Structures are given as structure tokens and as C-alpha cells.
Amino acid sequence: MEMCKRTYDIIVVGAGPAGLHATRMLAEKGLEVLVLEAKDEVGKNVICTGIIGKGSFEKFGFSSKQILRSIQDVRIDSPFGTSIFYKHPSPFAFVVERQRFDKYLLESAIKKGAEIVLKCRAMDARIDEAGVKIDCVDNENNVVRYKGKMLVIATGIEHEMNKKLGLGYPVRFVKAAQKYLKFCKNNDVTLIIGNKFAKGGFGWIVPLGDGMARVGLLSKINTKTGFKNIMEKYFPEEKDMSLQVKPIAQGIVSKSFRDRVLVIGEAAGQVKTTTGGGIYFGLSCAEIATDVIKDAFENDDFSEKRLSVYQKQWKSKIGNEIRLGALSRNMCGRLKDTQIEKIFDIVQSNGFFEDISNNADFDRHGSFLLGFLKKLYCFD
């Protein structure tokens, strides 16, 4: 085993948006931070619509250079072909290229003094009074040990480290599938609703420009069948049905802290239960984690008791939204296609879009959606 002689203040395992955002902020506070990433490139083979709310760009100070296009208009298609067109008063979200976006986050962290090791898969972690020891396997199958004073787990759906350290981990998932499509003639950002396409979820077509588009879906059941149905309806000439598939965590984990350790992002269940998006929640909770870690270093106290405030704070911030989102999705998942079609008729005739324009929040829509569904049931 090769031993890293240097001891870092923080070791972050996982170079997704939450992990990288935490890394940048921790390095900015003068802490020595090392990121360990299993992939050979950050952001590689990510399944994501790439849609980030305008509020997130403003809150987190993202560079406008990452924007491929803005979104102000959305088309929503029903199971039986009814289309609703919604135009927001102003652009409410932006489309980014995720690998380029993640690399931008990485570069921002490195500029603040952080270090990263790629192609290094964390296999084991040991916590004692002296600190944290992380054993990794590099690309040549050598075992390398890194040492730190604290550990931040940001491994997404990979939760083996959570288990090894006695932490909570996601136990409920939905399935997502996506592919990049060339020569797409559709210029509308389109949401596709219906059990034939995405039971308990939705499909999407997100044009990127130059004929490219992301086509995918989030569903409770067989994503391949739903994806095939989407392709047959919207792109019948396309014969290549290859796609990427991954589970997305749903629901709050039981415990996201222990002595010297915090869990952030999807590994802690910090994911929208309505859309499966994790950037806004993950980065918001990364900021909470950063403040808690800074306090721990200032007091030289890395105990479970001091770090427990992290879970209290992040659950207070987004826990209710996650629960309401799950309830809303479960309600939607029980609807038959005929009921969904009826809802489309109601939406077009009762001024719901004005309510969306005035009250909906792109990054916090569980409570709005639940209220929306309650109103619809009143019309049933």
C-alpha cells in the first residue's frame, strides 16, 4: 500500500456538483481540501436534463458562459396528444452542458487551492481520534491511503461508504434514462406526460441547438419501454435505441453525519422528489455543510454532537419540500391516462398558468404542485 504523507484538512469523495461546490467554499475558507473521484473526467456520462433554474444561477454565482440556451416557453404533451403551451413572463431556467458545467465547478475549486485525484475509487474509510483514513484503488489497481481531519461523502447513488460508516443511505429510487439525439427538428422544450411514456414521472425533449437534443424520461417502471414509445411518437425515423439508464435517489436518509463525517448531495437524499433534479438542493446543503465544518475547525471539535447541527439545518431547509414532492408524485402516479387528459382540459380553462406565473418556484415546487393537485381534484 502506498501512503500519502500529507494530511489534508478535508477529503471530499465524489466530484459531482455538490462535492465540488463544497470543495470550492472550503478551500476559499483556507482549508486544505482533496477531492477523490473514481471517473477519469468529472461530469462524464451524467444523466441530466441540464436544466438549472435562474434562481440557482443567481444564488450560486454561476458563469453565464455555461448557458447553452434560456427557457421561457414550455410545451406539455398529454397521453392522447393534447399540447399545452406555457410562456413565462421572462426566462426562468437555463440549459447547460453538464460535463462542461462540472468542469467549470472543478476549475473554480482548483483556483481556490483545492486538489483533485481522478481515477481513484474510494474503497474503505476508517475514522478514529487521529482523523480519517481513506483507502483508494487507482487506475493501476494500486491501493493508496489518504489522510484527513474530516471526510465529506458526495458519492451520489454509490452508498457503500455510507454503509461502512454506519450512516443512512437512499433506499428508494426512480429510474431515469436519456440519450443525445442528432438532427432533432423540434425546437420546443417539451414535457411528455402519460403512463405509456413515463408512469409516475415524465419524459423530456430538451433541444440544445445545432440539431442536438437530450431525450429522456423519469419513471417508476420500465424505462426502456417508455423510451421506445417516446421515440416512436416523436422520432419514428430514429432506429438507434441505445440509452443511458440510472437510478435516482428519492427520500431523506436517516442519518447524514457522524464524528468527522458529513454526507451531502444525492448520497444524503438531497434530491427533488418531483423532478429528480439534485443540483439546487445539493449545492444548498453543501453550503450548510461548509458552515458546520468551518465551525468544527474553529473549535477543534469534530464530534458527532457538534456535527449533528448539519442534519437539523438541511432538513429544516428542504425536508418538507422533499416530503411534499414525494406525496405529489405519488398522487400523480396513481392517475390513469384518461384522468390526466381531463386535467389538461381543466388546466386550459381555469387560469392555472396565471397561478404558476405568480406563485411557482422552479427550485421549490413540491408544495405548489400539491396545492395544484388539490385544486384539480376539486374539479373532478
* pLDDT on residue 147: 96
Confidence of residue 379 (pLDDT cuts 50, 70, 90): very low
89/291: higher pLDDT: 291
**Distance (Å, rounded) from C-alpha 69 to C-alpha 20?**
24
* pLDDT on residue 210: 84
Query: pLDDT per residue over 149-164, tens digit each?
Result: 999 999 999 999 999 9
Q: Supply 192's cell numbers.
A: 411528455
* CB distance 9 to 149 below 8 Å: yes
Query: pLDDT per residue over 290-346, tens digit each?
Result: 999 999 999 999 999 999 999 999 999 999 889 888 887 888 888 899 999 988 887
Q: Is residue 353 pLDDT above 70, yes or no? A: no
Confidence of residue 355 (pLDDT cuts 50, 70, 90): low
Query: pLDDT per residue over 269-282, tens digit each?
Result: 999 988 889 999 99
Q: Supply 205's cell numbers.
A: 425533449
Say what the pTM is: 0.93
Concatenated DSSP letters for 181-217?
Answer: ESS----S-EEE-SHHHHTTSEEEEEEEETTEEEEEE
Q: Is residue 364 pLDDT above 70, yes or no? A: no
Query: pLDDT per residue over 181-214, tens digit each?
Result: 987 777 889 999 999 999 989 999 999 988 889 9
Helices 366-379 and 304-333, axial angle in degrees (round to 10): 30
Specify the DSSP class assigned to residue 44. Answer: T
| % of the chain at pLDDT higher than 90 | 67
Confidence of residue 380 (pLDDT cuts 50, 70, 90): very low
Query: pLDDT per residue over 41-52, tens digit each?
Result: 999 888 899 999
* Domains, in order of start, for the chain: 2-329 (3.50.50.60), 334-379 (no CATH)
